[in-house]
C-alpha cells in the first residue's frame, strides 16, 4: 500500500482516523504527531514500569497503600518524556527517516515542522517533565535527571551497535526505579530486579517492532536486534520474554508477594507466548499487532502487583 501524501499531514505508521487526526486543530497536529500522541500504546509502555513499581511498593508496605496521585503524575510525566524522546529522536534521525517508507511522512522529514520548531517543542516537553519530577523526593528527582542521559544517547545507538533495543530498554524501564523510590525513598534489590525484567521485556517487544523496517534499515545502514537475530528472531525473543517473567517473579517475591501474585502472572505469560508463537517476521502488520499487545502485558502485570496489595 502506498504511503500517504506527506502534504496531507497523515503519517504512514499511525492508525487512520486516530484521535489526533480527528480532533486536534490543524496547527497543532504536526506537534502532536511529532510527540506520537497519535499512537498511545508506546506511551503506556513507558508508564507501565512506573505502575509496576508503585504497585510493588504498595505490596511491600501495605500500610502505605497505593499512591494514586503519584500514578497520575507519572502518567502525565510519561506523556511529556515519551514525547520529548520521540521529538529528539526525530530531530536526529530526520535524514534517515526520509529514506524509510514507514517514517518519511513524519512531521520533520515531510517538512510539516522545522528542526527549530521541533527543538522549541522539545524544550517545552522537558520543562513539563521536570516540573512533574520536582513533586517527588530528592532521590527520585536525582534518578529522573540521570535518565536524561539515556534519552540523549538512545537515538545514536542504532548507528553504532546492533543492540539499540537494549538502550531503549534502559530508558523505557527507568520508571521501575522511580515509582519505588517515590514511595520508599531508597533503592533495594526488588526494584532493581524489576528494572532488569522490564529491560528484557523491552528488548523483546521492540525487536518485534523493528521487524517492520528490517529491509529499509538494511538499505540505509540502521542496526537493530531484529536484523541481528535474523531467522532466529522468534526463539531469541522468547528467551527475552522468559527472562522478563523470571525477573518479575523474583522481584515480586523479594517485595513480599505471595498468594495470588504468581498465579496472576499466567495472563502476561499467555499474551507473551501468543506473540512469539504467532509472530510472522516477514509481515509488518503481524509484527505491529503483536507489539501493540504488550500494552495488555503491562496492564496485567501492574494488576497482579496491585491485586496482591489489595488481597
Q: Which cell is 159 given?
A: 548507528
Which letter does DSSP use for residue 136 in this model? S
Provide the pLDDT for residue 12.
Answer: 56
10 Å CB burial of residue 141 (0-12, 13-18, 19+) is middle
CA dihedral sign of residues 238, 239, 241, 246? positive
Provide the pLDDT for residue 39.
Answer: 78
Kindly give the residue spans of alpha helices, DSSP state H, lying in 24-163. Answer: 29-34, 40-60, 68-97, 107-110, 115-133, 138-160
The neighbour count for residue 213, using CB atoms within 10 Å, is 22
Q: Which cell is 307 given?
A: 491485586
Contact 307, 264 (CB under 8 A): yes
Provide the pLDDT for residue 13.
Answer: 59
For helices 40-60 and 164-172, angle between their N-to-C axes, nearest 10 degrees: 50
Mean pLDDT by 10 residues, the chain (311 residues): 46 66 83 83 87 94 91 95 90 80 79 90 95 96 95 90 96 96 96 98 97 86 94 97 97 87 95 98 94 95 91 78
As its CATH architecture, domain 11-310 has Orthogonal Bundle (1.10)
Provide the pLDDT for residue 3.
Answer: 43
Contact 150, 167 (CB under 8 A): yes
CA distance 192 to 190: 5
Q: Which cell is 252 given?
A: 515480586
Which letter does DSSP use for residue 14 in this model? S
> Which residue's entry shows cell 503483536?
290
Provide the pLDDT for residue 311.
Answer: 78
For residue 136, give the nearest of 199, 76, 212 by alpha carbon. 76
Strands (E) across 90-212 are located at: none
Provide the pLDDT for residue 11.
Answer: 64
* H-helix or E-strand spanning residue 2: none
Provide the pLDDT for residue 79.
Answer: 92
CA distance 32 to 38: 7
Domain assignments of the chain as residue spans, ordered by start: 11-310
Provide the pLDDT for residue 256.
Answer: 85
Within 13 Å, how many C-alpha atoms sit on residue 157's CB side? 19
Q: Which residues of 112-128 are buried (b: 16+ CB within 10 A; e: fewer)?
A: bbeeeebeebbeebbeb
Provide the pLDDT for residue 9.
Answer: 56
Amino acid at each position: 500500500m502506498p504511503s500517504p501524501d506527506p502534504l496531507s499531514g497523515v503519517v504512514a505508521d499511525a492508525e487512520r482516523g486516530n484521535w489526533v487526526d480527528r480532533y486536534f486543530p490543524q496547527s497543532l497536529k504536526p506537534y502532536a504527531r511529532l510527540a506520537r500522541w497519535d499512537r498511545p500504546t508506546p506511551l503506556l509502555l513507558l508508564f507501565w514500569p512506573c505502575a509496576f513499581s508503585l504497585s510493588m511498593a504498595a505490596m511491600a508496605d501495605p500500610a502505605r497503600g497505593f499512591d494514586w496521585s503519584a500514578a497520575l503524575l507519572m502518567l502525565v510525566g510519561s506523556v511529556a518524556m515519551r514525547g520529548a524522546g520521540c521529538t529528539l529522536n526525530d530531530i536526529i534521525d530526520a535524514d534517515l527517516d526520509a529514506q524509510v517508507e514507514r517514517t518519511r511522512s513524519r512531521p520533520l522529514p515531510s517538512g510539516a515542522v522545522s528542526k527549530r520548531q521541533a527543538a522549541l517543542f522539545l524544550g517545552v516537553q522537558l520543562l513539563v517533565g521536570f516540573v512533574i519530577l520536582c513533586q517527588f523526593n530528592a532521590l527520585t528527582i536525582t534518578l529522573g535527571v540521570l535518565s536524561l542521559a539515556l534519552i540523549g544517547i538512545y537515538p545514536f545507538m542504532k548507528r553504532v551497535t546492533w543492540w539499540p533495543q537494549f538502550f531503549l530498554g534502559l530508558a523505557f524501564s527507568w520508571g521501575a526505579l522511580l515509582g519505588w523510590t517515590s514511595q520508599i525513598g531508597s533503592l533495594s534489590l526488588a526494584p532493581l530486579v524489576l528494572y532488569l525484567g522490564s529491560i528484557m521485556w523491552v528488548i523483546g517487544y521492540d525487536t518485534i517492532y523493528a521487524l517492520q523496517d528490517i529491509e529499509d534499515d538494511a538499505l540505509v545502514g540502521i542496526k537493530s536486534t531484529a536484523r541481528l537475530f535474523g531467522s532466529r528472531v522468534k526463539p531469541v525473543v522468547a528467551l527475552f520474554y522468559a527472562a522478563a517473567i523470571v525477573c518479575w517473579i523474583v522481584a515480586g517475591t523479594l517485595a513480599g508477594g505471595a498468594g495470588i501474585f504468581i498465579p496472576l502472572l499466567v495472563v502476561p505469560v499467555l499474551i507473551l507466548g501468543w506473540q512469539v508463537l504467532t509472530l510472522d517476521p516477514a509481515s509488518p502488520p503481524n509484527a505491529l499487532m503483536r507489539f501493540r499487545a504488550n500494552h495488555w502485558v503491562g496492564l496485567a502485570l501492574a494488576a497482579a502487583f496491585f491485586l496482591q496489595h489489595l488481597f
